[in-house]
A and B are shown apart, each in its own frame.
Chain A
Amino acid sequence: MDMKSLYLIVPLAPLAGAVIAGLFGRAIGRRGAHSVTIAAVLIAFLASLVIFQDVLAGNTYNGPVYTWLISGDVRFEIGFLIDRLSALMMLVVTFVSLMVHIYTIGYMADDPGYQRFFSYISLFTFSMLMLVMSNNFLQLFFGWEAVGLVSYLLIGFWYTRESAIYANLKAFLVNRVGDFGFLLGIGLILAYFGSLDYAQVFQAAPQFASHSISLIPGEAWSLLTVICILLFIGAMGKSAQFPLHVWLPDSMEGPTPISALIHAATMVTAGIFMVARMSPLFELSDTALSVVMVIGAITALFMAFLGLVQHDIKRVVAYSTLSQLGYMTVALGASAYGAAIFHLMTHAFFKALLFLAAGSVIIALHHQQDMRYMGGLKKYMPITYWTALIGSLALAGIPPFAGFFSKDAIIEAVGASHLAGSGFAYFAVLTGVFVTAFYSFRLLFLTFHGPERFRQHHHGHEEGAHHHATVEPKESPWVVTVPLILLAIPSVYAGWAYIEPLLVKGWFGSAIVVAPAHDTLGHLAANWHGVLSFITHGVMALPFWLAVAGIASAYLFYMVRKDLPERVSRKAGIVYTILLRKYGFDELYSWLFAGGARKLGGRLWRWGDVTAIDGWLVNGSARLVGAVAGLVRQLQSGFIYHYAFAMIIGLVVLVTWFVQP
């Protein structure tokens, strides 16, 4: 089999699985649905492995699959670009997806929408693969919107719950705001470059480096800055960057496997991937890079704070995801694209692990998600505990776990950056380290250590609204724990094993372009003395001690002096309230945008359509006609030739008037 067919198999196998499970779910039953979809994703994963090997051997591919549309002199193609960047993404996507598919067998065992769920997650895998394998902006946008659709379907999976169908509409609309910018960016690319093909656009980009456009008369802006910022607005939607972050915490209304697959490991990283893919464009605009860095820094720090006050275990992990996406974005802004992708990869492993561990706890406690009603689960669920501990250590950035390496690389790169805003970004990512370590271990201590509070009855955030029997919690079945273990393995080793090839040895090759003036990772590479030296160097540096301090503080607050959280929150009343209210963005947006649009629409309808057009023009002219008709009724003779004569005169008058030169 040639490689091109293999490329096709990667996305098409999950699509076939999705179609079979979706359309014939009833016929093939539960076992049939999960067998088909898992087999399909396994095929995609194995094919991705082969492709990865092939790419490592130096083979890349860039070519069309079919022509979607031709109009004027523009050809729109569907096609694949397989290089080191896309091959790595394919591997991450199919691996995490495979784990999530297996885990779902256990997690969704009692759900009536079992087949539908498998159909959706396979469809998601297909969409995400189309996105990362694309060689052009059209297909990128296809995948981009398609993952948004599946995310919408999955957040609203339990469609009878008001909170879920509110959250999915919100997620879709906020993403659409991002897509709005993204589409305009694509439009500008086509308008100036005359093509949507990556290779052609990237090749032509340097010629446009000093090109400026005037969107507002009198203001000349750099074309590439405008394009990059518009594209980045798309990334802000999909990767939930401030101020378009509001949808991600609410997306936790979806079943937990979805939170792991879509809202932590893959879909939300689409924006990160996209910017890395567009590095030949972003490198040409310092302004755009600064914007990216500052937005990322705001997200990294301020979303981390929100993780401190949440009680819902999934929401803590969700805010942690937001914050970590901020780290990746900061790395992109600092031109450390490799570090961003590296963190994307390690994060995919340990964050999927943390979500699945949280899900394991949630099923063990019969859909209890509130950490105030957990505690002491360590002895009941040892596998979940130890894997969650590994995930938390990786997240907090403790060596030798994976997160340490990727996060440290980002922090060093930001420190080496000289772009406007890099000072603030450096402060934000450093502070973020402490906060991250604190909330991660707060979660771990509250859930697995301390007194057992799960016997107290509470009807807060339940997922499936089931029974509340007070049976003892017990470890989850193997379909749940095996994915946990399989995800824990790379969470341990993916850092030290891959940092050298990925970041030091220029692994991405021509897939990522960095201007010499922006080469922040070059500093890392120049001072590279091996992994051990990186660790010893790291252990003596500030970020490591901030992380240790965070863990120690969490230990103090939640294991030793358990009265402290209460007292601190009372002392810092206003700050605490602001954090609990998530800075008020939800309220602001729902008042300003949702309410504002409805109010405006209502006004336009009543005043414009009903009053002005219908009331004055249409009905007014009807009344006028009625009044005039009353007068001219006298002219009605009843003789047909009178009417004909009148019509002819009328026409003659009109025509004469027209014919007049």
Chain B
Amino acid sequence: MIEGIGILSLTIWVPIVAGLLILVTGGDRNADGQRAIALIGALLGFLVAIPLWTGFDASSAAMQFQEIAAWIPLINVHYHLGVDGISMPFILLNSFTTLLVVLAGWQVIQTKVGQYMAAFLIQSGLINGVFAALDGVLFYVFFEAMLIPLYLIIGVWGGPNRVYAAIKFFLYTLLGSLLMLVAVIYLFFESGGSFEILAWHKLPLGLTPQILLFVAFFFAFAVKVPMWPVHTWLPDAHVEAPTGGSVVLAAITLKVGAYGFLRFVLPIVPDASHELAGLMIALSLVAVVYIGLVALVQSDMKKLIAYSSIAHMGFVTLGFFLFQPLGIEGGLVQMISHGFVSGALFLCIGVMYDRLHSRQIADYGGVVNSMPRFAAFFMLFAMANAGLPATSGFVGEFMVILGAVKVNFWYAFAAALTLIFGAAYTLWMYKRVVFGPVANEKVAAMEDINSREFLVLGLLALCVLGLGLYPLPVTEVMHASVNNLLEHVAHSKLP
């Protein structure tokens, strides 16, 4: 470890520095060199994050690996980093996903290779910053800045309708971000001039300000999750984004929204959270049921998986607002699992798109005949998406449903419908794309996955099965922080 620089700083700045390094090494003539730097940068980024896991004290709910330095003394803004059992797993997930995305884009991206790789690395560092920030302003800066690479990824390497998608995305996020900025400034004044998130957790607040703060944060985070009805940017963004963009969007960016609920909403405005829990649960269940049905009728594979993401993220917000260990830990496990599964599914669609240049289900059929190895991976991830036990997709949904029964049987009833809907839309798509006789000559000419694709999908398959068969280690790191959060949320902050 470098003297004076903490682990969390390394997880943020190593990828960013690698990204900048790529940008200065010149244009496409040096593509191979840039790929190499990107791989090394991503690998280093992942390696420096590993001590977070190995050195983590799971028995403590306190922030660990803390770093603090004055940043803008004038208004008391600090460069304050730290992680607990809730945020730590996501830094690892993000660094791991970045590695996969670099590998997945290795040959596929042929134009502006350097910028593409740099955008992902810089984004990776910024997202680690979001999960590590303990200062309100620092969080806000990372939270906003991480969108810039994503805009560029969609805007530059995206599909034909990318401008519409980008504007839609922009409109949605702008709304949320501005309201959150106001909330942050308000909290600054209320707390007597502090941007410390942990200090805000202890701040007594009346019910009306709590509700207004809830609304402000809700728009910022619900758009990201995304929750119904502020979800319609996601299918468009996914459809237009290149494969790597979709993977990061689904695997990581959505998690930032859900994380925001746990870091800001529940602890800062617990009374408002209890007050509005019914509404949040209702929106989550709408996501599960309504979006599940909508996913069924999609003819574009990416749209289908995008809608399925919304339905799966519905479980996360449902779990959070049950205020129970099973619900919150279930939601967190679901977030991690969704990172693996949706990432893998977008990669699978990317593998097919690279060969046939279509995302329409109708253009496929009988892919298993020409790509048996690919079909086996795709089956595993499809089953994980349908929540089959022994895959990671089961764990979170199972925990949240069990937690929901305790609160209200009908919440669980609606949520459990995903057992049917999730299987229906995923496996129906799988049937039409993969099974059946070879649909056309183009499908017949598809080549099975190469060793690089095998490596990427294989790593994800191990993650999906590992988390499904033995989730205990992952949830163990969360217990102390989640229990601490629940205890905190149980106490009223009304003055």
Contact = CB atoms under 8 A, between A and B. Distances in A.
- Do the two chains bind? yes
Interface of A: 66-74, 141-142, 145-146, 149, 152-153, 156, 159-160, 162, 165, 169, 172-173, 176-177, 179-180, 183-184, 186-188, 190-191, 213, 215, 597-598, 600-602, 604-605, 608-609, 613-614, 617-618, 621-622, 625, 651, 654-655, 658-659, 661
B442 interface: no
B402 A622 contact: no
B464 interface: no
B297 A598 contact: yes
Contacts of B427: 152, 169, 172-173
> Chain B binding site: helix, strand, loop or mixed by DSSP?
helix
B435 A156 contact: yes
Contacts of A600: 293
B26 interface: no
B232 interface: yes
Contacts of B294: 601, 604-605, 608-609
Residue with the greatest number of chain A CB neighbours at <10 A, chosen from B330, B394, B472: B472
Given A145-B394, A617-B229, A618-B168, 11 more contacts: A70-B479, A71-B479, A142-B389, A146-B389, A159-B435, A160-B437, A184-B412, A184-B416, A213-B409, A598-B297, A618-B233
A188 B409 CA distance: 8
Contacts of A162: 436-437
Interface residues of B, number: 69
Given A71-B325, A146-B389, A191-B406, A601 B472 contact: no
B404 A142 contact: no
Contacts of B296: 597-598, 601
Nearest to A67: B472
Contact of B424 (A66, A67, A69, A597): A597
B167 A613 contact: no
Contacts of B490: none
A71 B182 CA distance: 36
12 contacts: A68-B472, A72-B329, A146-B388, A160-B435, A162-B436, A165-B436, A172-B423, A183-B401, A184-B409, A213-B409, A598-B297, A658-B212
A191 B421 CA distance: 24
Contacts of A621: 171
B368 interface: yes
B431 interface: yes
B130 interface: no
Contacts of A177: 420
A658 B470 contact: no
Given A618-B171, A658-B209, A183 B419 contact: yes
A169 B428 contact: yes
A659 B420 contact: no
Contacts of B395: 69
Nearest to B369: A160
A165 B435 contact: yes
Contacts of A69: 395, 399, 471-472, 475
A142 B390 contact: yes
A328 B419 CA distance: 27
Interface of B: 167-168, 171-172, 181-182, 185-186, 189, 206, 209, 212, 229, 232-233, 290, 293-298, 324-326, 329-330, 366, 368-369, 379, 383, 388-390, 394-395, 398-399, 401-402, 404-406, 409-410, 412-413, 416-417, 419-421, 423-424, 427-428, 431, 434-437, 469-472, 475-476, 479
B62 to A, nearest CB: 21
Contacts, number: 155
Contacts of B185: 651, 655
A142 B369 CA distance: 30
A160 B420 contact: no
B420 A71 contact: no
A73 B405 CA distance: 16
B281 to A, nearest CB: 16
Contact of B290 (A165, A608, A651): A608
Contacts of A191: 402, 405-406
A597 B436 contact: no
Given A141-B389, A173-B420, A173-B424, A71 B436 contact: no
Closest 3 A-B residue pairs measured CB to CB?
Answer: A72-B325, A187-B405, A601-B293
Contacts of B368: 159
A606 to B, nearest CB: 9
B405 A145 contact: no
A11 B416 CA distance: 29
Contacts of B434: 159
Contacts of B206: 661
Given A169-B428, A601-B295, A176 B420 contact: yes
Nearest to B172: A618
B96 to A, nearest CB: 22
A71 B330 contact: yes
Please indicate which of the listed interface residues B182, B298, B379 has the most CB atoms of chain A within 10 Å of its own CB. B182
Nearest to B167: A622
Nearest to A654: B182
A176 B423 contact: yes
B153 to A, nearest CB: 22
A198 to B, nearest CB: 17
Contacts of B181: 651
Contacts of B330: 71
A173 B423 CA distance: 7
A370 to B, nearest CB: 23
B416 A68 contact: no
Contacts of A169: 427-428, 431
B326 A70 contact: no
Contacts of B404: 187
Contacts of A658: 182, 186, 209, 212
A149 B189 contact: no
Nearest to B182: A654
A188 to B, nearest CB: 6
Contact of B232 (A598, A609, A661): A609
Contacts of A655: 182, 185-186, 189
B471 A190 contact: no
Nearest to B471: A69
Contacts of B383: 149
Contacts of A622: 167, 171
A227 to B, nearest CB: 11
A196 B181 CA distance: 46
Contact of A190 (B293, B405, B475): B405
Among B186, B233, B297, B398, max chain A CB count under 10 A is at B297
Contacts of B167: 622
Nearest to B209: A658
A602 B402 contact: no
B337 to A, nearest CB: 13
Contacts of A160: 366, 369, 435-437
